[in-house]
A and B are shown apart, each in its own frame.
Chain A
Amino acid sequence: MTQFLAQLPVLPIIIPLIAAPLTMLLPARALKGRIPCLFATLVSWIAFAASAAILHSVATAGPISYHMGDFAPPIGIEYRIDLANALVLTLVSGVAALAFPFSYASIRAEIDDHQLSMFYAMALIAMVGLLGVVITGDAFNVFVFVEISSLSTYALVALGARRDRRALTASFNYLVMGTIGATFFVIGLGLLYQATGTLNMADLKIQLAGRDNPMVEAGFAFILVGMGLKAAMFPMHLWMPNAYAHAPSAVAVFLAATSTKVAVYVIIRFTYTVIGADFDFAGAAFEYLIAPLAVMGMFFASIVAIFQDNLKRMLAYSSVGQIGYMLLGISFGTEQGLAASLVHLFNHGLMKGALFMAAAAVAFRVGSETCDGFRGLARRMPWTAAAFIIAALSLVGVPGTIGFISKWQLLSAAFDSGRAWAGFLIVASSLLSVIYMGRVVELMTLAPAPDASAAVREAPLSMLVPMAILVAANIYFGLSTELTVDLAERAATSLMGAAR
């Protein structure tokens, strides 16, 4: 047993990594395509259980270091898990564990039966890629897993082409932007490697100490831009709305809740664990470049979201704005700001997941992805409508939901660090989110349903249950902040401690 537990850190990666090729071999069309879906669900639950066990272990007994192939770092590849990774790890695998069972009905309707096994194999690969990025302590290993997750995501997004050919162009744009981003990341790593000779993140920090030179500065800038592209940071977000809007609905659920969050996590990791606090340029980059861009993103994306007709695209633009909140929190340069960003990263994954699930359920039953499809939804699909409304309230930041917790943390971090302006801007852009979410909620509750309403039934249980769990998480973590806020604060403390 102890032997087994000693290998715990690698389980959330290695089990799906082995399971993915096996999934491909499962019969796609027997039992209405349930076999690959059930298998993938099972694997994602195992990954989630392992992640939760890691989180528990890290929270109670401190960071873990796992040496791949028993080669001690920095010679070998290391998995280093502290609270920050463990938290994101749990988010990604948790959302996956809900998204897989949720996807069954929606995916069967949206892609060809022949492709079900391949689809679930690909979805597992996308999950393992994101988990691998989060868990590793080796900078180049990040790149490898970023590419695993990106390549699978391109293919998954393109699968939306069965309903709308624009998925193809969206996927291609994503591929071009994603590859540029990944290559920038590699250039940045090359510069850091040339300056230090090592690729292990913790070792990079040691070797970089006192070496403030143009190579390190440019390297950090390239990593920031590369990951900014992946995170859809404001001026580099153009690939994202179309990719999310045209991807199969269930794919959008998983991506919206996890993929950009993971990129933000990588930015945090490199800023604090690798570069650290003794480099003035990093602080300056956040203060004078990232913070203004974050604010512009918050407003620009929210305003664009107001005018969107396609619901998924509106939610995607909203995500661009929410990424702005996270980056703004990091840019404060305080422990509180970082903790607020981590909390928001976690919470935003939960609320966007729930919103996209509701959108997917509507697309499944009503067959429409525009806001019109939500007309009179409260009477046609009451449970889905209720889930959407709660998640929307959470996004806006109503007390009792996780959105309120994030906003509260961000606001207090802003005011405590003497950035009252940031606090006001956060409130102002939240008002914009009231407008775009309110518009949809109004359509759902007040507008009359179109004539064909009799034909529309409530979403199937396989969709409702995961949605309900995610919505319940939206409320639970909004009332009990022990897990998220306390852990995020501890994570921030240790990240900042390491940075100094």
Chain B
Amino acid sequence: MTPGAETAAFWSRLIDLSLLTMLVLVAYTMLRSRHLFAIVMLSGIYSLLSAALFVSLDAVDVAFTEAAVGAGVSTVLMLGAMLLTVRREKTQRLGRASLGIAVVALVGAALIYATTAMPAFGDPAAPANSYIGAVYMERTAAEIGVPNVVTAVLASYRGFDTLGETMVIFTAGLGVMLLLGPGSGRGGRSVKDRPGKDEAP
């Protein structure tokens, strides 16, 4: 590696590390805060930070999607739901903290155990990077001819996953229509006596 490249690598790694640290700080603030509005805003910031991290990790398509979906759509949905419900989390002790800590500690321990065997970060010879992913890089130019390999894989090699993904979005839209749309009986039990929206006189 040339000295210039090395410096660049150093700085990009430094950016990664600081973004990651900021993510933890934001997540911790979200955990502590009880102002739902603040938490929703922080979750937008959290998504933007992770989008920035994805750019730094070369995942530009993912960063774009995360910024649009995570920071944009998701925040708007959360704000809407918050306005329709409550603004503030109740101060309360749920008695679940100990259960939460136990579960979380167990899961964390399992993952930390797993990291001991993980290939080093950025290792080009790691199995994940040297096998199918590399094959996609090799073949796309000749077989698909699209410059963006992520697009090529998304639409061709793993196109069926993408069809499923479209179906997931359709399902979610249909689900929201069933839950909130006409005939959903909004308002719970009491709505039974009320005529459906479009039947209202």
A283 at the interface (CB under 8 A from B): no
B72 at the interface (CB under 8 A from A): no
A147 to B182, alpha carbons, bound, how many Å?
A: 25
Tell which of A69, A74, A168 has the most Cβ of chain B within 10 Å. Answer: A69
Which residue on B lies nearest to A158, using beta carbons? B179
CA of A118 to CA of B170, assembled, Å: 12
Of A125, A154, A199, A217, which one neighbours B167 at CB under 8 angstroms? A125
CB-defined contacts of A151 to chain B, threshold 8 Å: 168, 171-172, 175
A132 and B160 CA atoms in complex are apart in Å by 11
The answer to the question of A210 belonging to the interface, with a C-beta cut-off of 8 Å to chain B, is: no
Taking the complex as formed, is B164 at the interface, i.e. its CB lies under 8 A from any CB of chain A?
A: yes
Q: Are B157 and A71 in contact (CB-based, < 8 A)?
A: yes
Q: Which residues, 135 to 186 on B, are CB-close (under 8 Å) to A?
A: 135-136, 139, 156-161, 163-165, 167-168, 170-172, 174-175, 177-179, 181-185
Bound Cα distance from A111 to B129, whole angstroms: 51
* Contact between chains at A221 and B110 (CB < 8 Å): yes
Q: How far is the CB of A78 from chain B (nearest CB, A)?
A: 10
Name the CB-closest residue of A to B167.
Answer: A148
Map CB proximity to B onto A189-213 as digits: 1 under 8 Å, 0 otherwise.
0010111111100000001000001
Map CB proximity to A onto B47-88 as digits: 1 under 8 Å, 0 otherwise: 000000000000000000000000000000000000000000
Inter-chain contact B158/A76, CB cutoff 8 Å: yes
Chain B, Cβ-Cβ closest to A125: B171
> Is A207 in contact with B175, judged by CB distance below 8 angstroms?
no
Contact of B174 among A77, A118, A161 (CB under 8 A): A118
| Docked CA distance A287–B117 (Å) | 25
Q: Are B165 and A197 in contact (CB-based, < 8 A)?
A: no
Pairwise interchain contact B139-A214, C-beta atoms closer than 8 A = no
Q: Which of the candidate stretches B8-16, B24-32, B33-41, B188-196 sits at the interface with the other chain?
A: B188-196
Q: Which residue of B lies closest to A184 (CB)?
A: B107
With A21-B170, A115-B184 in contact, is A68–B189 under 8 Å at CB? no
CA distance A76 to B136 in the complex (A): 10
The listed residue with most A CB atoms (<10 A of its CB), out of B133, B159, B164, B174, is B164
Q: Quick check: is B116 within 8 A (CB to CB) of the other chain?
A: yes
B118 within 8 Å of A (CB atoms): yes
Complex CA gap A164/B118 in Å reads 49
Q: Considering the chains assembled together, what is the distance between the CA atoms of A21 and B167 in angstroms?
A: 9
Expressed in whole angstroms, the minimum distance between the Cβ of B123 and any Cβ of chain A is 11
Establish whether residues B183 and A114, one from each chain, have CB atoms under 8 Å apart when the complex forms.
Answer: yes
What is the CA–CA distance of A20 and B173 in the complex, to the nearest angstrom?
13
- Nearest-Cβ distance from residue B140 to partner chain A, whole angstroms: 11
- A69 lies within 8 A of B182 (CB): no
The answer on a CB contact under 8 Å between A197 and B179 is no
Chain B interface, number of residues (Cβ within 8 angstroms): 48
B99 → A minimal CB distance (Å):
11
* CB nearest to A128 among chain B residues: B167
Verify A214–B158 contact, CB threshold 8 A: no
Q: In the bound complex, do residue B168 and residue A148 qualify as a contact, i.e. CB atoms below 8 Å apart?
A: yes
- Taking a contact as CB atoms under 8 Å apart, the answer to whether B184 and A75 are in contact is no
- Dominant secondary structure at the A interface: helix
B135, A75: Cβ atoms under 8 Å? yes
B126 within 8 A of partner (CB): yes
Please name the residue on chain A nearest to B139 by beta carbon. Answer: A75
Please measure, in the bound complex, the distance between the C-alpha atom of A436 and the C-alpha atom of B156, giving whole angstroms.
Answer: 53
Write the nearest CB–CB distance from A495 to chain B, whole angstroms: 24
Instruction: Please determine whether B189 and A165 come into contact, CB atoms closer than 8 angstroms.
Output: yes
| A222 at interface, CB cutoff 8 A | yes
Cα distance A114–B180 when bound, in Å? Answer: 12
Partner of A207 from the list B127, B160, B161, B177 (CB cut-off 8 Å) is B127
How far does the alpha carbon of A119 sit from the alpha carbon of B185 in the complex, in Å?
Answer: 14
Nearest CB of chain A from residue B62's CB, rounded to whole Å:
14
Question: Nearest Cβ in chain A — how far from B129, in angstroms?
Answer: 7
User: Smallest CB–CB gap between B183 and chain A, Å?
Assistant: 3
Would you call A118 and B177 a contact (CB within 8 A)? yes
> Do the beta carbons of A132 and B139 come within 8 Å of each other?
no
Which chain B residues border A155 with CB–CB below 8 Å?
171, 174-175, 178-179
Task: Provide the A105-147 mask, 1 if CB < 8 A to any CB of B, else 0.
Answer: 0000001111100110110010010001000001011001101
Q: Tell me the minimal C-beta distance from B36 to chain A in angstroms.
A: 17
In the assembled complex, A461 has its CB within 8 A of some CB on chain B: no
Distance between Cα atoms of A69 and B114 in the complex (Å): 35
The answer to the question of A215 belonging to the interface, with a C-beta cut-off of 8 Å to chain B, is yes
CB of A26 within 8 A of chain B? no
Instruction: Identify the closest chain A residue to B170 (Cβ).
Output: A21
The reply to whether the CB of B20 lies closer than 8 angstroms to some CB of chain A is no
Interface residues of B (CB under 8 A from A): 110-111, 113-114, 116-119, 126-133, 135-136, 139, 156-161, 163-165, 167-168, 170-172, 174-175, 177-179, 181-185, 188-189, 192, 196, 198
Enumerate the 9 nearest inter-chain pairs by beta-carbon distance, A residue then B residue, closest first.
A197-B131, A114-B183, A112-B183, A155-B175, A218-B114, A144-B164, A197-B127, A165-B188, A213-B117
A to B CB contacts below 8 Å, 30 in the list: A17-B167, A21-B170, A24-B174, A69-B159, A75-B136, A77-B157, A112-B184, A112-B185, A114-B182, A114-B183, A115-B182, A122-B171, A140-B161, A141-B160, A141-B161, A141-B164, A148-B171, A158-B179, A164-B189, A165-B188, A187-B111, A194-B118, A194-B128, A197-B130, A207-B127, A217-B114, A218-B111, A218-B113, A221-B110, A222-B110
User: A112-B184, A151-B172 are known contacts; what are 12 more A-B pairs with Cβ within 8 Å?
Assistant: A75-B135, A122-B171, A125-B167, A125-B174, A144-B164, A144-B165, A147-B168, A148-B168, A152-B174, A155-B179, A162-B192, A197-B128
